[in-house]
Amino acid sequence: MISAPFDYEVAESVDHAIELLGTKEDAKLLAGGHSLLPLMKFRLARPATLVDIGRLSGLAGVANSGEHLKVGALTRHHDLANDPLVQEHCPILAYTATLVGDSQVRHRGTIGGSLAHGDPASDLSTIALTLDAELVARGPNGERTIPAAEFFRGFYATALEPNEVLIEIRFPNTGSERWSYLKFRQRSLDWATVGVAAVVEAANGSIASAHIGFTNMGHTPLRAGAAEQALAGAARGDVASATANADDGTNPPSDTFASADFRRHLARVLTARAVEEALSR
Ligand code: FAD
């Protein structure tokens, strides 16, 4: 498949990218290209201009501010998985990055592209939502911080304005917490049929709090509010009953991989397993 014709511009800085987005008609950012280019080849996307930010090295990398792990939007999945800071302070993020696609995808795809694309099947979007990450966007009027809970607006829709660049994602340091990400897929390299993230705090035989996030259970990544409420204060032996309605409030798709009913079943089973796995850490 061959894409429709387009112009190509290389951004020399974030401000240059913002300027190009504002002056070129129907321009789109290009990061790793591993979501946008397939869409263009199927002619599901036809931007008139691609603004390549892939060489802005200042947007890649990880820093620890103490409270947050600051991840540059151009950090590639492979680098996220292997970064010692991420492994130590946000291990669920490092682990989940190892589950994205195959080696080629992980060496090209970026976390910023994953989140900005707004695909409900994105694994890293679920982690951002589950951990209450903050997303920093820069546009013509400066920078703003968007909580992950307000970032994902719908199917391939986010809170980003057309002339904004996502520059950084801030994850709370979670090194001491108990976590799990379980991804059900048909083959080892596939996208998630359903994914479940769990981050749990527990002490003295009971669960103090639980953050549960779903991949591919609706038009956006979702939090499992019913299960989170039922788990807070539950005894460790009550995980099965507290997660029995984990799919409440979801709206999973039916497709060639799974029916909506099977996805609901998977969400319930995987939530219980993810919480148990998190508790066992
Ligand atoms: P691009 O394709 O370059 O851009 C995607 C979109 O985001 C575009 O609209 C672009 O304009 C916008 N964008 C990019 N960067 C920014 C920014 N900094 N600010 C604002 N907008 C921006 N993902 C998973 O989560 N799990 C999987 O299992 C998985 N499997 C895959 C398998 C294959 C074969 C392929 C090709 C992809 C797979 N992916 C998977 C997607 C992969 O993770 C992509 O890398 C990612 O979704 C998009 O990142 P990118 O850097 O390639 O973005």
Overall number of domains in the chain: 3
45 and 65, same domain (yes or no): no
Q: Across the chain, which distance is largest between two alpha carbons, in Å?
A: 62
Domain-located, residue 1:
no
Q: What is the pLDDT of residue 204?
A: 85
pLDDT-derived band at 188, boundaries 50, 70, 90: confident
**Chosen domain end from 153, 172, 191:** 172
How far apart CA 78 and CA 55 sit, in angstroms, is 16
Expressed as residue numbers, the domain containing 75 is 60-172
For the CA of 192, the nearest atom of ligand 1 = 28
How far apart CA 186 and CA 34 sit, in angstroms, is 20
Domain-located, residue 120:
yes
Among 147, 153, 198, residue whose Cα is nearest residue 169: 147
How far apart CA 239 and CA 236 sit, in angstroms, is 6
Tens-digit pLDDT profile for residues 87-98: 999 999 999 999
114 and 136, same domain (yes or no): yes
Please give the structure tokens belonging to residue 260: 């909506």
Distance 30 CA to ligand 1 centre (A): 9
Q: What is the pLDDT of residue 265?
A: 98
78 and 41, same domain (yes or no): no
- The Cβ of residue 276 has, within 10 Å, a number of other Cβ atoms equal to 16
158 and 230, same domain (yes or no): no
Q: What is the pLDDT of residue 173?
A: 85
For the CA of 73, the nearest atom of ligand 1 = 18
Distance 239 CA to ligand 1 centre (A): 34
124 and 154, same domain (yes or no): yes
Amino acid identity of residue 112, one-letter, is G
Tens-digit pLDDT profile for residues 1-53: 899 999 999 999 999 999 999 999 999 999 999 999 999 999 999 999 999 99
CATH assignment of the domain containing 71: 3.30.465.10
Beta carbons of 100 and 189 less than 8 angstroms apart: no
Q: What is the pLDDT of residue 189?
A: 83
Residues 6+ apart with CB under 8 A from 137: 143, 144, 145, 146, 160, 161, 164, 165, 166, 167
**Chosen domain end from 104, 137, 172:** 172
Q: How far apart are the first and last CA of the chain?
A: 46
Distance 202 CA to ligand 1 centre (A): 35
Beta carbons of 135 and 145 less than 8 angstroms apart: yes
CATH assignment of the domain containing 36: 3.30.43.10
Domain-located, residue 2:
no
* Mean pLDDT (the chain, rounded): 96
187 and 148, same domain (yes or no): no
Domain-located, residue 142:
yes
**Chosen domain end from 146, 172, 198:** 172
Q: Distances in Å between the alpha carbon of 123 and those of 111, 117, 184, 267?
A: 10, 12, 11, 14
Beta carbons of 165 and 14 less than 8 angstroms apart: yes
How far apart CA 56 and CA 184 sit, in angstroms, is 34
Distance 108 CA to ligand 1 centre (A): 9
Ligand 1 near 125 CB (within 6 A): no
Beta carbons of 220 and 154 less than 8 angstroms apart: yes
How far apart CA 96 and CA 164 sit, in angstroms, is 26
Mapped onto helix, strand or coil, the DSSP state of residue 247 is coil
Question: Nearest residue CA, atom 33 of ligand 1?
Answer: 101
